[in-house]
């Protein structure tokens, strides 16, 4: 009868050690799997960004075409993006709501040297 509590305690201790070992192995495996998945992704190239002056020019053009009614702030506001989408749709461009290279070229807005290489 005195051996029964000792046996139960030993089993509990053994289960705890086993569970702890499994958790440490699985977290190491998950971490290394995530690392190798990120290593296989291709690196993203530079991001095309319109300058504030280009945005002002686009806002002016959108305003003359009645796609935008706001001020020429040089910032891509929600209203500017909505106007860009309408312009892109009317001109048969990919509808993104951003001032990408093809939209700037279609609008006749000059690109910077850096933007020309992108």
For 27-80, the pLDDT digits (tens) are: 555 555 555 566 678 888 888 899 999 999 999 999 999 999 999 999 999 999
- Which pLDDT does position 47 carry in this prediction? 85
Output the pTM of the full model.
Answer: 0.63
Q: Can you give the residue ranges of every domain in the chain?
A: 52-108
Closest CA to 62 of 98, 86, 35, 33: 86
- Which pLDDT does position 45 carry in this prediction? 81
Across the chain, mean pLDDT equals 84
């Amino acid at each position: 009868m005195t051996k029964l509590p000792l046996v139960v305690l030993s089993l509990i201790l053994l289960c705890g050690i086993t569970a702890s070992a499994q958790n440490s192995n699985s977290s190491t495996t998950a971490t290394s799997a995530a690392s190798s998945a990120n290593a296989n992704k291709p690196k993203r190239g530079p991001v095309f960004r319109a300058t504030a002056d280009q945005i002002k020019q686009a806002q002016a053009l959108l305003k003359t075409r009645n796609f935008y009614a706001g001020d020429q702030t040089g910032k891509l506001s929600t209203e500017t993006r909505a106007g860009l989408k309408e312009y892109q749709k009317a001109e048969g461009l990919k509808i993104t709501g951003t001032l990408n290279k093809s939209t700037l070229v279609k609008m006749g807005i000059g690109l910077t040297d850096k933007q020309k290489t992108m």
